[in-house]
Copies of this chain bind each other. A is one copy, B any other.
Amino acid sequence: MKLYEQFAEELSALIRSGQLRAGERLPSVREARARRGVSASTVFMAYQLLERDGLVHARPQSGFYVSAQISAGTAAPASTAPRAEASEVAISELVFEVLRAARSDGIAPLGSAFPGPELFPLPQLAKATFAGLRGQDPQTIVDNLSPGNPRLREQIAMRYRLDGVQVQADEIVITNGALEALNAALQVLTRPGDTVVIESPAFYAALQAIERLKLKALEVHTDPVAGIDLDALREALSRHRVAACWLMPGFQNPLGSLMPEANKRALVALLAEHAVPLIEDDVYAELFFDRQRPRPAKASDSAGGVLHCGSFSKSLAPGYRLGWIAAGRYSQQVQRLTLMTTMSAALPAQMAVLNYLETGAYDRHLRRLRTALRARMEAALATIEASFPQGTHVSRPRGGYFLWLALPPGGDAMALHRVALRERIGIAPGQIFSPDHRFSHCIRINCGHSGSIVLPALQRLGALTHALLREST
């Protein structure tokens, strides 16, 4: 064990045993160096390790603080270990019940899938739509049929290449949101009865698609920090005939986990070895908080077996329903399926986003958006720490706008969902993120809306959780 690991372990033990308590500031790097006689970098690396594990968090210009009852590393406790066998899925009813509740008027949207609409440049997009449509030669309408507007596909391909991902425009199909892309990919890759690997917990839309297409879901344990467990995946692939994987290596929904790049490369290699295609759902790609956009698994795909799905819905234009898929060697099949089912993404949405991208405004907007989302998440985390009972665990994602909370023993997410709804607060109960309604003690919180909505709602949720736990004992 390295020196910094040893130091981190000591601190970790102090935190877990309650001797270092929530909200306490860790010694500054300078203090710790002086007190322990170790180098500054040892201290710093130890603190980073603790941060990675969700035990402490940094506050800009202030230092590292203990995160109360927080342990991203254990947000998915052992009791929720996935079943080892592939199973049929019947989750849709429950998902619809939850989504319907979340859409009702006047419900605080902590159960919603979209960040606050005020974060998006909607007036500028309206102008971009007009500018794009006005200049349109009527004869070119067919250019926008699937696979979509050639200039828009070129813009998207260029963004891949700037990140060092080799994607050509003719591999890309523009879709009605990433949801169409994901569903089309799954449909192209599978036949009824096939087995599909998903994360545990998984995005409910994947579960719904698997249910709808009469497939079987094979859940693989997924770490709240580092994403899918590659050993567990290797084991699953050796034991099952798998038709496809549907995974979110970047800012997984609901965990917020981000696979390290080395893991992504290993994932692609492992799947290539088993000739299993990967549907890479990467709709939160642009919402990173660190310095650089994490490269997708697609970056190391040389065999065309990764179908990378992206979207402008979470990063630019909610409601415009504009997504895409870089479908590798399945590109033509996906294109044909979309031609047969929706024919194309809508012309105004394509023109709007194309026009907006071509003005260069997108990256400026993204910088503002990331800053705003990060601030909102930090405020939400502080409020959760202050409001929820001891023993609550929460994830600490490095991008996106979802938090994953594991309630203390006795906490029931559906019960919390119901009492919260009565107080006009929506949440996403953990039950909708697995085929068999596990994660019954977990909730997903959308912290991407304005603090004036989210923070009071979180305080109230904390109080409701306290009350529920009292009742259950």
* Chain A residues with a Cβ under 8 A of chain B: 92, 96, 99, 103, 112, 114, 117-118, 120, 122-123, 125-127, 129-130, 133-134, 136, 138-139, 141-142, 144-145, 176-177, 179-180, 183, 192, 205, 208-209, 212, 318-322, 336-337, 339-349, 352
CB distance from A43 to the nearest CB of B (A): 45
Say whether, besides A138-B118, A142-B103, A348-B346, A337 and B212 are in contact (CB < 8 Å).
yes
Closest-by-CB residue of B relative to A340 is B208
Give complex CA distance A180, B321 in Å. 14
A321→B343 contact, CB < 8 A = yes
Count this chain's copies in the assembly: 2
Say whether, besides A133-B129, A141-B319, A183 and B341 are in contact (CB < 8 Å).
yes
Query: Chain A at the B interface: mostly helix, strand, loop or mixed?
Result: helix
A340→B120 contact, CB < 8 A = no
List the 6 closest pairs (A to B, CB-CB), nearest first: A117-B138, A319-B347, A126-B133, A348-B348, A130-B130, A346-B346
Assuming A176-B321, A177-B343, A319-B346, what are 8 further A-B pairs, CB within 8 angstroms?
Answer: A103-B142, A123-B134, A179-B340, A212-B340, A320-B347, A321-B343, A345-B346, A346-B346
Give complex CA distance A213, B345 in Å. 22
Most buried by B among A114, A209, A337, A342: A342
Give complex CA distance A308, B416 in Å. 41
Task: For A126, list chain B residues within 8 Å (CB).
Answer: 129-130, 133-134, 136
Task: For A139, list chain B residues within 8 Å (CB).
Answer: 117
CB distance from A189 to the nearest CB of B (A): 14
Give complex CA distance A336, B95 in Å. 10
Task: For A343, list chain B residues within 8 Å (CB).
Answer: 176-177, 179, 321
Give complex CA distance A208, B117 in Å. 38
Closest-by-CB residue of B relative to A177 is B343
Give complex CA distance A432, B348 in Å. 31
A122→B117 contact, CB < 8 A = no
Task: For A180, list chain B residues within 8 Å (CB).
Answer: 341-342
